[in-house]
Amino acid sequence: MIPRLETDRLVLRAFRAEDFEAWAAIMGDADVMTFLGGPMVRTDAWRAMAMTLGHWALRGYGMWAVERKEDSVFIGRVGMLNPEGWTGLEVGWTLGKAFWGQGYATEAAACAMRFAFLTQAVERVVSNIDAGNTASQAVALRLGESKGPCAELSVAGHKMMVDVWSISREEWQRRV
């Protein structure tokens, strides 16, 4: 049900039970989670992983586990999400701190964006990014997204203000 995608350096695949330890460490890292609602305890990380898999069942798309081809190390998640009350079909990314600054987020997100435009009947995709998250803003720019209006999201009962970055199908097609 969850397609496996590959880039030059990465594999995007379904989450597996054996990903949980690395996933819980990433979701529990205060630096990683600074702009995503704060670090999660293990039980919340488990629920988030289960929700990620459930999104595929409910929407037909979702977030992939990302692993590095060279050593099969789990490095984070990248993919599509659109929970109730969202700003649109989002392409998002969360990688472990050890994997920042190596181009992995851009590489995996570009793959997910391609999948989104090839499989979903949407005119644009978005990336909801905290105004202080300059690293994710740089990824969005490399993907061809432009900063749009602010929006308020509700995540696990917490209100979050985000900038809605987006790219239209037409803009994306000109880039590929």
* Mean pLDDT (whole number) for 170-175: 96
Instruction: Say if residues 36 and 156 touch (Cβ distance below 8 Å).
Output: no
Report the CATH number at residue 38.
3.40.630.30
Average pLDDT over residues 165-174: 97
Burial level of 39, CB count in 10 A (0-12/13-18/19+)? Answer: middle
Q: CA–CA separation, 9 vs 107, rounded Å?
A: 8
**Is the pLDDT reported for residue 141 higher than 90?**
yes
Question: Please, which pLDDT band fits residue 154 given cuts at 50, 70 and 90?
Answer: confident
Q: 155 falls in which pLDDT band (50, 70, 90)?
A: confident
* Domain encompassing residue 143: 5-175
Q: How many domains does the chain have?
A: 1
The answer to whether residue 77 scores a pLDDT higher than 90 is: yes
